[in-house]
Amino acid sequence: MIHPLSDVQSNNIGETSNIWQFCVVLPKAVIGNGCNICANVLIENDVRIGDNVTVKSGVQLWDGVTLEDNVFIGPNATFTNDLNPRSKMHDKEFLRTKVGKGASIGANATIVCGVTIGEWAMVGAGSVVTKDIAAHELWYGNPASHRGYVTRDGVVLDLNKQDKDGNTYQL
C-alpha cells in the first residue's frame, strides 16, 4: 500500500510493504517486503532497505544507508552521509552506513555516517553514534558508549552478559 499523499518514484518496493502519507522515495531506492515506512520519511536513491523493516515518522535515509532485514528505526532518528558538510559542495562519494539484521535504533538517535551497527544491536533514544557497534551490543549516551548487550529477543544484559535476575547468556 502506497498512500496517495506520498511521492514514491521507485518501482523497487516489496508488494507487502506500506508507505504512509508525506513520504518521498527517490527512483533508485530499494525497499523489501513487509516494511512499514511511516509518515514524513525521506528515502534517497542509494538506500537499500531489507525485509520487515520499520522506519518510524520523521526519518531521513540519505544516500549510502543500508538497513538489513528486521531493523527498527525509531521516530526522528537522524542519519548523516557527509562528515564535512558545506552548502553547495558535495563529496563525489558518500560514506556508507550499515545497520545489521534485527538491530534497533531509538527515537532521536543520531548516526554519524561511515559506521556499522551490528546484528541485533540496540542504540538508545537520543544517543549519538560515532563508532562501529558490534553484534548484540547495547549503546547509549552522547557520545554513545557500550553499556551492555541485547539478545535477539530483546532481553537487556549487563556488561557481564547477565540479565536483571543474574542469568548469564551466550550470544
Domain assignments of the chain as residue spans, ordered by start: 1-83+90-171
- Only one residue has cell 551466550, namely 170
**Whether the Cβ atoms of residue 75 and residue 108 lie closer than 8 Å to each other:** yes
- Only one residue has cell 512499514, namely 36
Could you give the CA distance from residue 5 to residue 9 in angstroms, rounded to a whole number?
13
Indicate the pTM of the whole model: 0.95
Pick the CATH number of 1-83+90-171 from 3.40.50.970, 2.160.10.10, 2.60.40.420, 3.40.50.300: 2.160.10.10
DSSP string, 69-108: TT-EE-TT-EE---SS-BTTB--SSPPPEEE-TT-EE-TT
Residuewise pLDDT in 10s, the chain (171 residues) = 999 999 999 999 999 999 999 999 999 999 999 999 999 999 999 999 999 999 999 999 999 999 999 999 999 999 998 888 888 887 677 899 999 999 999 999 999 999 999 999 999 999 999 999 999 999 999 999 999 999 999 999 999 999 999 999 999
Q: Which of these, 80, 2, 12, 68, lies nearest to 39 by C-alpha position?
A: 2
